[in-house]
Amino acid sequence: MDFSDSPDVAEFRAGLRAWLGEHLATYADGVGYDSAEGVAATHRWHRALAAAGYVTVSLDPEYGGRGLSDLYEAVVNEELAAAGAPPPPPIGHIAHAVADFASADLKARVLPGLLGCTESWCQGFSEPGAGSDLAALSTTATATDDGFVVNGQKIWTSWAMWADRCLLLCRTEPDQARHRGLSMLVVDMDTPGITRREITLANGSREFAEVFFDDVPVPAANLVGERGQGWRIAQHMLTYERGPADMGWTGRLGNVLAAAQEGVRSGRLPADDVLRRRLAAVAVDAQVLSWHVARSLVDRSSADPGSSGSIDKLLTTRVEQELYAVVGDLNGAAQVVGEQRPFNEYLWARAQSIYGGTQQIQRQIVAQRLLGLPRG
Amino acid sequence: MDFSDSPDVAEFRAGLRAWLGEHLATYADGVGYDSAEGVAATHRWHRALAAAGYVTVSLDPEYGGRGLSDLYEAVVNEELAAAGAPPPPPIGHIAHAVADFASADLKARVLPGLLGCTESWCQGFSEPGAGSDLAALSTTATATDDGFVVNGQKIWTSWAMWADRCLLLCRTEPDQARHRGLSMLVVDMDTPGITRREITLANGSREFAEVFFDDVPVPAANLVGERGQGWRIAQHMLTYERGPADMGWTGRLGNVLAAAQEGVRSGRLPADDVLRRRLAAVAVDAQVLSWHVARSLVDRSSADPGSSGSIDKLLTTRVEQELYAVVGDLNGAAQVVGEQRPFNEYLWARAQSIYGGTQQIQRQIVAQRLLGLPRG
Amino acid sequence: MQIGLDPEQRALGKASGALAADLASGWDRGRGPSDVASAAPSDADWARIVEAGWPALRLREENGGLGAAAVDVAVLVEQLGRHSVAAPVIGTLVAAEQLQALGAPAETLEAIAAGELRVAPLLDAGLLGFAPSAEGALAWDSAGATLAYAPDGSAHALGEPLPTADVTRSVRRPGARVTDRDTALRPPAGDDRDRLHAFVLTLLVADLLGTMSAALDAAVEHATTRTQFGRPIGSFQAVQQIAAEDLVSVEATRSALYFSAWAVDALPPAEALRAARTAKAFASRSGVAVCQDAVQLFGGIGMTWESPAHVWLRRAQTDRTSFGDEHAHQAVLADLDLAPGA
Amino acid sequence: MQIGLDPEQRALGKASGALAADLASGWDRGRGPSDVASAAPSDADWARIVEAGWPALRLREENGGLGAAAVDVAVLVEQLGRHSVAAPVIGTLVAAEQLQALGAPAETLEAIAAGELRVAPLLDAGLLGFAPSAEGALAWDSAGATLAYAPDGSAHALGEPLPTADVTRSVRRPGARVTDRDTALRPPAGDDRDRLHAFVLTLLVADLLGTMSAALDAAVEHATTRTQFGRPIGSFQAVQQIAAEDLVSVEATRSALYFSAWAVDALPPAEALRAARTAKAFASRSGVAVCQDAVQLFGGIGMTWESPAHVWLRRAQTDRTSFGDEHAHQAVLADLDLAPGA
């Protein structure tokens, strides 16, 4: 049992810290998705990080990665959070899908732009009629002589407004039931027939969009893997989606907690004994979460039920929602009158039990797959 | 809107208080179900209360009641709780079932003993294979020339160890599905073929028993209502089972709360600010519960969803479990070392989300019957 | 015991609900946070509000009011919450009640009752209660109001709306003195202050009840129509368990409102205030919990600006904070119940 | 980072679990509260425990012990919790660790390691920590123990078991002095005290983890076989939602245990204690919650004496209270984190 860094990890971490110390100030300002300037700043930040060799470090060197373990991805996320830097580009799962399933030609065409962050990607999975029930999706890619023609609609597509390419999960085999009929395509977002509509969230965020496909041609060479393999690739991606990023997210929650603690210590956030103890209780939860995420990351390849992403997500959501509830109460009237960032963060915490699979679905996965309870 | 007593109710309440002031001391001591003496004392208390005219006051005078509204039953429960007296005999629902469905002959035979508390009754509903799913019960009453022969097993039968009679829900129509095949019988508990086995609960309570029926003959005259009417009668009983008794239960929770508050005030139960505030929070809940139970009682006949017993039970359970959690923490080490009454009460509170329909089933009833959500 | 609304109160609820729904339908939260319509009612809408007698409802007859019971006012306010009405009716009712308790002259109150004088109450910077002076105070639910009075009778103009979580109601800072509108006020007796406080808390409970019940009803409706895995999501037990607990909370809150509203006029002031604190503590907790659950039940769509789900949650959180959340009231109740010798 | 058990630790867990299960199978809770078997192990069982090296596990080699890491001890204690072992192994481990930290002579510790001297730790009357003296103290997990030492080295005989919630472990009052068994102790250094405290809290976390995971596993097993409405109750979503959250709690508690146990030996004492307090706070809450849920999932049968469900809940509540519940530790953590200048 050892929760501390190995020498290699410590060296990697120190290198990253040094790089951040030198370069963060140049890039961190103005990063966001609320304006064209913010998006441009985000892309600059991603490209700088990629150029420094800190993007998708777990990918094979032949594809532009560094062939390091997931742990290093986690260190990147963790250190960026600790430094108060914007997150790394969330492209690890897309990169792994392409690297592990795409043809050599497709890889050569798209991986450099993806990994160098010179091209921006989105992931077209959810649909209005297929959220929790993803296998019910109905966007079709009908085979033609030289490829496919896509028709349908995606929703909750993060960064779609600014994306150059989309990894699209769609139905190519209409005669196959549910998940057996799905395939994965790379779609250039400037192809005629694609329309994007921004979604404004309750917290003012403009990260999501709807994407409409109207007779959109996609060349056969843009098929990732084989026809009918879409579901498998999507599942494969899920295993890369969380773990390391959880480390960053946990770190960011830790920053929020630390700021609240500092506010109480300094008297800026007046807190009676009850509020102090509520803050201490959520600090306990946040600390256990960070230990759990670390363990989960290292144990990922084992058969240990602790490796389950659904458990991690449920625990994270529990902690995050409680944290923002306490921080909200610490803010008191300032939560409802005045600058709205705290309230928007509280709202965003509420969304965590919905996005990426609702709490109810996550619990069902845990109950059936990990506890072995029978299906209803 | 008026939460205060009408003059009639106030007079009734004053009369009961006076009676309690005079007689409670004579009867209250040693009441319980943990020993033969306790059971005898319980029966003496019930008979005294009945003789004074305070048992099943809502029953028609022709059957021995006083023809008063449910509100008066509630006042009885409430005042007994307030006086720290043992509860009244829980027979209102049985009395209403017999009065409303039994033949004149059966009524004449059994109501005097029931209402006078000279005979003790139990209610045989639940079975090992039919708890939440009562309609699945399998105890059979096979029709014979002059009645029925009962075979099967009941469980969770309160007071069965000392009961003279049992109101038995059983299957008389084997060719009818589920609830359509059920009937209600009055069974004399000294009939040969009946075996009782005490169930000791986790909290040491010995109130429950299993009852085994092995070719037990029951005369046709002991059928309540008609064959196949059992489910309807059982449902009818449910409407009499809670309401007024809730008032008493709420009162008893109020006593527990008041004792805890007094303990804190006097310094007997040391409490820091956090514990004091937790006690205040549950006091809020207990107060709202008592208002809700009062409203629910008065609104019972209306179509208002507030009238639902399931809502009341869920709310009561929520408050009761939280109350005993806080009281347990107030007791600190004394909850786990020393006299075990507080811990046993805590355990009993845990049972409230199971007995009388689990919390999960109650919620499903509320969701489907009151909110109109579709069945799964 | 006669617990529940009488036929007149039911009629008032129905009529208020109809007007509230109509007012709400004319207000637009736009396409995002920077696109929200002003909460201030148009002159025409204000005229309808005055016509309905809402600003006058609770004022005594000698002050140009209708002298309604607190229960009646609660019936109205529940509907304002239910429809998330943007017009500052609650602020007006609160300010009018405060001014009456502080002995404001009849002509001032008559002007409020007639809708000619549009006032808002001044709360302290923590929104915990009425402000002792205009210094640092906030004019609460003050959209379209022209004046706010400090307890010393000084009249203050009002600034621009501040950023707020609640998109349906405005908070503004008192600005310049308007000395020619000053009025004569006196400190209230302790009893009057307690009853005023009980009344105000009760209105917030009513708004929370309306808000949470609207949220639950809409979530149930959504769950009945939205399908996943080939069936309505409301048929899933996991969804039903949540919705059922929410109905328990709604009904318990209704019981608390009924008692609290009755107590304002029927019980001694200290008891009425105690009941109102209890109701406010309970409703603050349950109102926010139910609105959070509604967001959950709406799923992804509930987190969009387009959905009403966040509007209810915003309103509930604001009601919860205003005049003290559950923690504030439980702190007072703990002192009342648990102080040695209490 | 190397988080998880190594093969040796897994083997230790397996062997400990087998013996723990066997010991547990020989103990009977009877037919009701007045029928419970003594928690004291038979001589034969104690000999097996000693043979397994459990009392000696953590003592240093120079004191006749095996010098095991805290992680190893945690692996054992998890199994004791998992099987609700009645024999006072945890009490022995705690007492031995305390005596070693207080500088007890090697012969005393050797006698403990060899199972010849059966000691229990003295806790204060609130079970919050080690007692400063025998006065009013409680000998914790002391079934079959013959002596308890106060920090001044005085030896005390032990009285009859007190009534306790936990039916598997005894608490007894120290009685007569046994002066010829007195030993020489010294006050521990602050660092030693912190590390001792961290170690003890970690064992309670381990017992809680074992207890809660046993309860959850059994509840899941019950839910898989028990049918209602024609299907296993575990197929109902309402049941699955509860069980899933419980698994989250169990796994998070396991992570907390791993860190806390590692920290005892690897981090500076103050950091180790801080981690242990955090883990104990979390495990106290989650352990009781999971065991309560297990009672719920067992349904009516779970509330009978016959069912093991209440045994787990009793043990969890006792573990939670012993050496401070979540509130006690959160109070300390709040002071550490939130005091001005902290």
Q: How far is CA B166 from CA B46, B110, B159, C235, in A?
A: 18, 11, 10, 38
Kindly tell me if the per-residue pLDDT of A321 is higher than 80: yes
Residues C106 and C195 placed together within one structural domain of the fold:
no
Kindly tell me if the per-residue pLDDT of A300 is higher than 70: no
Residues A224 and A310 placed together within one structural domain of the fold:
no
Q: How many CB atoms within 10 Å of residue B193?
A: 13
Residues D249 and D315 placed together within one structural domain of the fold:
yes
Decide if A303 is inside a domain: yes
Q: What does the block give as tokens for C269?
A: 């002031």
Active site residue A241: yes
Give residue-wise pLDDT tens across range C14-35.
999 999 999 999 999 999 998 9
pLDDT at A32: 84
Kindly tell me if the per-residue pLDDT of B293 is higher than 70: yes
Largest CA distance in chain C: 68
CB contact under 8 A, A375 and D235: yes
Give residue-wise pLDDT tens across range A137-194.
999 999 999 999 999 999 999 999 999 999 999 999 998 888 899 999 999 999 999 9
Please list the helix, strand and coil fractions of chain A in percent, rounded to the nearest 5, in that order: 55, 15, 30
Decide if C38 is inside a domain: yes
Taking the CA of residue B12 and the nearest CA in chain D, the distance in Å comes to: 38
- Chain A window 237-296: which residues touch B at a Cβ cutoff of 8 Å? 272-274, 277
Interface size between C and D, measured as CB pairs under 8 A: 13
Nearest to B193 by CA among B210, B208, B211: B211
| CB A178 within 8 Å of CB A230 | no
Kindly give the residue spans of alpha helices, DSSP state H, lying in chain B. 7-27, 36-51, 70-82, 92-101, 104-116, 230-241, 243-266, 273-298, 309-331, 333-336, 341-351, 359-365
Active-site hit among B241, B262, B322, B345: B241
CATH number at residue A53: 1.10.540.10
| CB D73 within 8 Å of CB D5 | no
Question: Which residues from chain B sit within 8 angstroms of residue A275, using beta carbons?
Answer: none
Residues A253 and A358 placed together within one structural domain of the fold:
yes
d(CA D156, CA D147): 5
CB contact under 8 A, B274 and A277: yes
pLDDT band for A241, please (50, 70, 90 cuts): low
pLDDT at A376: 77
CB contact under 8 A, A126 and C300: yes
Q: What radius of gyration, in Å, describes the C-alpha atoms of chain D?
A: 20
d(CA B20, CA B77): 12
pLDDT band for B304, please (50, 70, 90 cuts): very low
Residues A154 and A220 placed together within one structural domain of the fold:
yes
Interhelix angle D70-82/D7-25, nearest 10 degrees? 30
Kindly tell me if the per-residue pLDDT of C341 is higher than 80: no
d(CA A182, CA A234): 10
pLDDT at B242: 67
Residues D174 and D35 placed together within one structural domain of the fold:
yes
Report which of residues C250 and A179 the model is more confident about: C250
Strands (E), D206-284: 227-228, 231-232
Interhelix angle D237-266/D70-82, nearest 10 degrees? 150
Provide the 3-class DSSP secondary structure of residue C64.
coil
- Which of D228, D235, D241, D245 should we substitute to test contact with C (largest number of C Cβ atoms within 10 Å)? D241
Decide if B82 is inside a domain: yes
Taking the CA of residue D3 and the nearest CA in chain B, the distance in Å comes to: 35
CB contact under 8 A, C238 and D236: no
Q: Which of C133, C160, C181 represents a domain boundary (last residue)?
A: C181
Residues A57 and A26 placed together within one structural domain of the fold:
yes
Strand partners of residue B148? B143, B218
Q: Chains touching chain B at 3 or more Cβ pairs under 8 angstroms? A: A, C, D
Provide the 3-class DSSP secondary structure of residue D172.
strand
Which residues span the domain enclosing B257? Answer: 243-370
Residues D221 and D87 placed together within one structural domain of the fold:
no
Residues A125 and A217 placed together within one structural domain of the fold:
yes
Kind of pairing between the strands at A121-124 and A165-171: parallel
User: Does B373 touch chain C if contact means CB atoms closer than 8 Å?
Assistant: yes
Kindly tell me if the per-residue pLDDT of A302 is higher than 60: no
Residues C177 and C194 placed together within one structural domain of the fold:
no
Residues A247 and A363 placed together within one structural domain of the fold:
yes
Q: Which of A202, A228, A254 represents a domain boundary (last residue)?
A: A228
Residues D317 and D278 placed together within one structural domain of the fold:
yes
Residues A332 and A262 placed together within one structural domain of the fold:
yes
Decide if D260 is inside a domain: yes
Q: Provide the number of structural domains found in chain D.
A: 2
CA quadruple A52, A54, A59, A62: dihedral, nearest 10: 10
Q: Which of D152, D181, D210 represents a domain boundary (last residue)?
A: D181
| CB D81 within 8 Å of CB D315 | yes
pTM: predicted TM-score of the whole model, two decimal places: 0.96
Active-site hit among A119, A241, A320, A339: A241
Kindly tell me if the per-residue pLDDT of C142 is higher than 50: yes
d(CA A314, CA D108): 49
Query: What one-letter code names the amino acid at B354?
Result: I
Q: How many CB atoms within 10 Å of residue B81?
A: 20
Please state, rounded to an integer, the average pLDDT across all residues of chain A: 92
Give residue-wise pLDDT tens across range B267-284.
999 999 999 999 999 999
Of the listed ranges B131-145, B159-173, C167-181, the least confidently predicted one is B131-145
Decide if C257 is inside a domain: yes
Question: Which residues from chain A sit within 8 angstroms of residue B329, using beta carbons?
Answer: none
**Sequence-ordered list of residues with C-beta below 8 angstroms from that of A285, at least 6 positions apart, any chain:** A318, A319, A322, A323, D282
Decide if D2 is inside a domain: no
Decide if A27 is inside a domain: yes
What does A9-70 look like in DSSP terms, one character per residue?
A: HHHHHHHHHHHHHHHHHHH-TT-SSSSHHHHHHHHHHHHHHHHTT-SSTTS-GGGTS----H
Decide if D1 is inside a domain: no
Report which of residues A342 and C341 the model is more confident about: A342
Residues D194 and D225 placed together within one structural domain of the fold:
yes
| CB A206 within 8 Å of CB A133 | no
Q: What does the block give as tokens for C49?
A: 């509000």
CB contact under 8 A, C236 and D237: yes
pLDDT at B305: 39
Kindly tell me if the per-residue pLDDT of A305 is higher than 50: no
Strands (E), A174-221: 182-188, 194-198, 209-219
CB contact under 8 A, C238 and D237: yes
Q: How many CB atoms within 10 Å of residue A270?
A: 11
User: Does B367 touch chain C if contact means CB atoms closer than 8 Å?
Assistant: yes
pLDDT band for C258, please (50, 70, 90 cuts): very high
| CB A358 within 8 Å of CB C149 | no
Q: Which of A201, A228, A255 represents a domain boundary (last residue)?
A: A228
Q: Provide the number of structural domains found in chain A.
A: 3
Taking the CA of residue D324 and the nearest CA in chain A, the distance in Å comes to: 14
Q: How many CB atoms within 10 Å of residue A61?
A: 9
What are φ and ψ of residue A345, in 5° steps? -70, -40
Provide the 3-class DSSP secondary structure of residue A219.
strand
| CB D300 within 8 Å of CB D226 | no
CATH number at residue C309: 1.20.140.10
pLDDT at A239: 74
Please state, rounded to an integer, the average pLDDT across all residues of chain B: 92
Decide if A105 is inside a domain: no
CATH number at residue D94: 1.10.540.10
Q: Which of D142, D160, D181 represents a domain boundary (last residue)?
A: D181
Nearest to C166 by CA among C142, C144, C146, C145: C142
Q: Which of A89, A113, A137 represents a domain boundary (last residue)?
A: A89
> Smallest Cβ distance to B279: which of C243, C256, C334?
C334
pLDDT at B240: 73
pLDDT band for C334, please (50, 70, 90 cuts): very high
What are the residue ranges in chain D where pLDDT is below 70? 342
Residues B212 and B324 placed together within one structural domain of the fold:
no
> Smallest Cβ distance to D220: which of A266, A364, A373?
A373
Provide the 3-class DSSP secondary structure of residue B148.
strand
**Across A218-222, average pLDDT:** 97
Q: Which H or E element spans position B150? A: strand B147-158
**Chain B residue with minimum CA distance to A277:** B274
Kindly tell me if the per-residue pLDDT of C272 is higher than 60: yes
Decide if A96 is inside a domain: no
What are φ and ψ of residue B59, in 5° steps? -75, 155
Q: Chains touching chain A at 3 or more Cβ pairs under 8 angstroms? A: B, C, D
| CB A296 within 8 Å of CB A243 | yes
Give residue-wise pLDDT tens across range B4-41.
999 999 999 999 999 999 999 999 888 888 788 899 99
Decide if A94 is inside a domain: no
**Across B103-130, average pLDDT:** 94
Question: Which residues from chain B sit within 8 angstroms of residue C220, using beta carbons?
Answer: 371-373
CATH number at residue B340: 1.20.140.10
Q: Chains touching chain C at 3 or more Cβ pairs under 8 angstroms? A: A, B, D
CB contact under 8 A, B266 and C340: yes
Q: How many CB atoms within 10 Å of residue C30?
A: 12
Kindly tell me if the per-residue pLDDT of C270 is higher than 80: yes
| CB B374 within 8 Å of CB C235 | yes
User: Does A301 touch chain D if contact means CB atoms closer than 8 Å?
Assistant: no
End-to-end CA distance of chain D: 29
Question: Which residues from chain A sit within 8 angstroms of residue C171, using beta carbons?
Answer: 337
Kindly tell me if the per-residue pLDDT of B213 is higher than 90: yes
DSSP state of D304: B
Provide the 3-class DSSP secondary structure of residue B358.
coil
Sheet with C155-161: strands ordered across: C119-120, C147-149, C155-161, C171-177, C138-140, C122-123
pLDDT at A338: 94
- Chain B window 44-73: which residues touch C at a Cβ cutoff of 8 Å? 71
Length, in residues, of chain C:
342
**Sequence-ordered list of residues with C-beta below 8 angstroms from that of B224, at least 6 positions apart, any chain:** B97, B98, B101, B102, B106, B167, B183, B184, B185, B186, B233
Question: Which residues from chain B sit within 8 angstroms of residue D31, using beta carbons?
Answer: 200
Decide if A215 is inside a domain: yes
Residues D163 and D278 placed together within one structural domain of the fold:
no
pLDDT at B306: 38
Length, in residues, of chain A:
376
| CB A28 within 8 Å of CB A45 | yes
| CB A17 within 8 Å of CB A79 | yes
Decide if B111 is inside a domain: no
CB contact under 8 A, A261 and D266: no
Q: Is D89 exposed, middle or buried (0-12, 13-18, 19+ CB in 10 A)?
A: buried
**Sequence-ordered list of residues with C-beta below 8 angstroms from that of C221, at least 6 positions apart, any chain:** none
Residues D19 and D128 placed together within one structural domain of the fold:
yes
Which residues span the domain enclosing D67? Answer: 7-181
| CB D99 within 8 Å of CB D113 | no
Residues B350 and B255 placed together within one structural domain of the fold:
yes
pLDDT band for A307, please (50, 70, 90 cuts): very low
HSE of D317, CA atoms in CB hemisphere, 13 A:
26
Taking the CA of residue D253 and the nearest CA in chain A, the distance in Å comes to: 8
pLDDT at A229: 95
Residues B188 and B134 placed together within one structural domain of the fold:
yes
Residues D199 and D154 placed together within one structural domain of the fold:
no
Q: Chains touching chain D at 3 or more Cβ pairs under 8 angstroms? A: A, B, C
Give residue-wise pLDDT tens across range C192-219.
999 999 999 999 999 999 999 999 999 9
Provide the phi-psi class of D240: left if phi over 0, else alpha when psi is between -120 and 50, else beta: alpha
Residues D214 and D146 placed together within one structural domain of the fold:
no
Residues A283 and A317 placed together within one structural domain of the fold:
yes
> Smallest Cβ distance to A284: which of D240, D255, D333?
D333
Q: What does the block give as tokens for A256?
A: 């929020």
Kindly tell me if the per-residue pLDDT of C130 is higher than 50: yes
CB contact under 8 A, C303 and A202: yes
User: Does B354 touch chain D if contact means CB atoms closer than 8 Å?
Assistant: yes
Residues B252 and B362 placed together within one structural domain of the fold:
yes
CATH number at residue B161: 2.40.110.10
Residues C18 and C86 placed together within one structural domain of the fold:
yes
